Amino acid sequence: MNGPLSEARLQDFRENGYLIERSLASDATVGAMNAVIDETVKPALAPVEYEADVHYPGAPSSKLAPGGQTPRRLLNAYARDVVFRDWARSPEVVGRLQQMLSCEQVMVSQNHHNCIMTKHPGFSSVTSWHQDMRYWSFDQPELVSVWLALGTETPDNGGLMLIPGSHTLDLPRGRLDAALFLRTDIKDNETLIKNAIPAELHAGDTLFFHCRTFHAASQNDSQTLKKSLVYTYHCENNRPIPETRSANHADIPV
């Protein structure tokens, strides 16, 4: 389970733009992470992004509205606790990324993801179909995000949906809206979205996905908080473009 990816598994990632590795994190690691998060989520320990900040469908209209203080992301995960740092640079994660990215020196971004996603019942929002690369600025669009489930994730509680193979698409600008989400009023996009599949995860399962893979998530319709740890990685020679958000803070070699 914790050895290198087989050529077949690596080919699955290259073709589909994502790969799920089951039980990659131990029960002890997941338990330690959940304990830290539970101590810092209510009230949320800064820095925090609130649901009201993103203005996505279903989000509170402002921080003064009901649910306006609902945290969406606990930011700067790498700096929050050693348990998050240890996972970010663990051989299980880094070894797979070296294979996926075809490089020896892998960097974890402090500017993108690097957070604990918290999807709360009642005041969570919908994230429409998008590629993460739409607002990242690097020499090459070759980054991989690592999403660790800290509990069960399904479409019912806002788990991710992905479109296999969509990382290879070069869509014309007109198929995206002003915020670079897939437009839902275009037939070709409707056909594309019909190919989506859910990334159904259990605690300790890890989703690796390419920065160009289209993905989306619904609201959390369960009665339980959903928690996930997410980092984004790139090769050392794939540098962030200076004076962009991607270069705000130095990336960390792992």
Q: Give phi and psi for 95, each to the nearest 5.
A: -60, -40
Specify the DSSP element, H or E, that contains 84.
Answer: helix 82-88
Q: How far apart are the first and last CA of the chain?
A: 21
| Geometric angle at alpha carbon 198, from 218 and 112, rounded to 5° | 65
User: Tens digit of pLDDT for each residue in 135-156?
Assistant: 999 999 999 999 999 999 999 9
Question: Considering the chain, what percentage of its residues have pLDDT values greater than 90?
Answer: 87
User: Tens digit of pLDDT for each residue in 107-116?
Assistant: 999 999 999 9
State which residues form the domain around 41: 7-253
pLDDT tops 60 at residue 183 = yes
pLDDT tops 60 at residue 251 = yes
Structural domain includes residue 249: yes
* CATH classification at residue 130: 2.60.120.620
User: Tens digit of pLDDT for each residue in 116-133?
Assistant: 999 999 888 899 999 999
Structural domain includes residue 53: yes
For the chain, what is the mean pLDDT? 95
Question: What is the arithmetic mean of pLDDT over 171-199?
Answer: 96
For the residues of 100-159, what is the DSSP string, one character each?
HHT-S-EEE-SSSS-EEEEE-TTT---EEEE-GGGG--BSSS--EEEEEESS-B-GGGT-
User: Tens digit of pLDDT for each residue in 197-206?
Assistant: 999 999 999 9
pLDDT tops 80 at residue 1 = no
pLDDT tops 80 at residue 210 = yes
Question: What is the arithmetic mean of pLDDT over 217-225?
Answer: 94
Structure confidence at residue 2 as a pLDDT band (50, 70, 90): low
pLDDT tops 90 at residue 18 = yes
Structural domain includes residue 2: no
**Reduced to 3 states, what is the DSSP secondary structure of residue 250?**
coil
pTM: 0.95
CB 158 within 8 A of CB 219: yes
Structural domain includes residue 87: yes
C-alpha distance from residue 102 to each of 99, 108, 138, 233 (Å): 5, 15, 17, 12
Structural domain includes residue 200: yes
pLDDT tops 90 at residue 69 = no
Structural domain includes residue 1: no
Give the separation between CA 237 and CA 106, rounded to whole angstroms: 9
Give the count of domains, the chain.
1
CB neighbourhood size of 102 (10 A): 10
Structural domain includes residue 209: yes
